[in-house]
Amino acid sequence: MTKPVFHVDREITDDDLAHAAGRAELIGPDDATIPGAVAAIIGIRHEWDAERFSRFPDLQVVSRMGIGYDNVDVAAASAAGVVVCNAPDAPSVSTAEHTLALILAITKELPIQQLRARRGEGGPVIATALELDSATLGLVGLGRIARRVGAAALALGMEVIAADPMLDRSPVAEIRLVELDDLLAAADVVSLHAPATAATYRMISTAELARMPPGAHLVNCARGSLVDHTALLHALDSGHLRGAALDVTDPEPLPVSHPLLDRDNVIITPHVASSTGAGRRRLFEHAFDNALAVVEGRPATIVTPSP
């Protein structure tokens, strides 16, 4: 029996081949190999619009290696008869751990202290790092990743609050749900966990940053489009924000001359929050399993277009 052909838009690893063995033939990432593919296992390398779908005449399913699918035109997929899947569980552990690492690194001013050490500076300094015990963490969005971050923050002794329009005001474990404006006004650290949609585009801009307490920190491991980077720079330049840590930016990557990259109170990592060895394997495996389920007519994690 002929195995179905799956296009993968990144380099195919030995782990990928082992997971697919006997079930599907993997090709890619060279676009010249597109014809004949019934499934595409994708990251964020390409925009999947009508033109791109037209280049996959046999395609049945596009399966995202991750949660967000903002690089997929769901309407164009539907018009082409292509199912869209995502893998909401796959990146949760790695991304939550990376978020926590950024929270700790920026509030403890590790870039600044590393720079001091490299300069040969030592001895006591005026203490400006934030002690997280009793500080407030505000989670914007309370999905799988945010809940893991919240649990870790609670273990550190932080008060954790969250704003999520998809949830009612009932507490989630020890996390208290509040309105976004109230969260921004109260949080020493704001961590973003919202999807990229028209409603969330630049949801953190001048007014929102001004509402945050003086000396607060902003962390974003969700999507770069959530934050107005010009407004963020102004908030940092004025001293209103103490620091920021970003795994995602807009554009991505930032130009090497971008002023956010040249600050010792900003940490930027290149969209690698989910890129542990285990996380990378899970991303592919969940996306592959979804795609194979669609091709074989079994239940899968399918994205439903908004009405």
Residue showing tokens 């395609």:
59
Residue in 271, 280, 282, 286 annotated catalytic: 271
> Could you say which of 252, 258, 263, 281 is catalytic?
252
Side-chain half-sphere exposure of 58, counting CA atoms within 13 A: 12
Helices and strands of the chain, counted as H and E runs: 10, 12
Whether the Cβ atoms of residue 158 and residue 136 lie closer than 8 Å to each other? yes
Structural tokens at position 111: 């870039």
Amino acid at 307: P
Alpha-carbon distance of 73 to 263, in angstroms, equals 36
Rg of the Cα atoms in the chain? 21
Q: CA 11: distance to chain centroid?
A: 21
Is 252 catalytic? The answer is yes
Q: Is-catalytic flag, 47?
A: no
CA gap 238, 251 in Å, rounded: 23
Catalytic residue among 64, 193, 211, 223: 223
Those residues whose C-beta lies under 8 Å from the C-beta of residue 120, and which sit 6 or more positions away, are none
Tell me if residue 271 is catalytic. yes
Residues assigned a catalytic role = 223, 252, 271
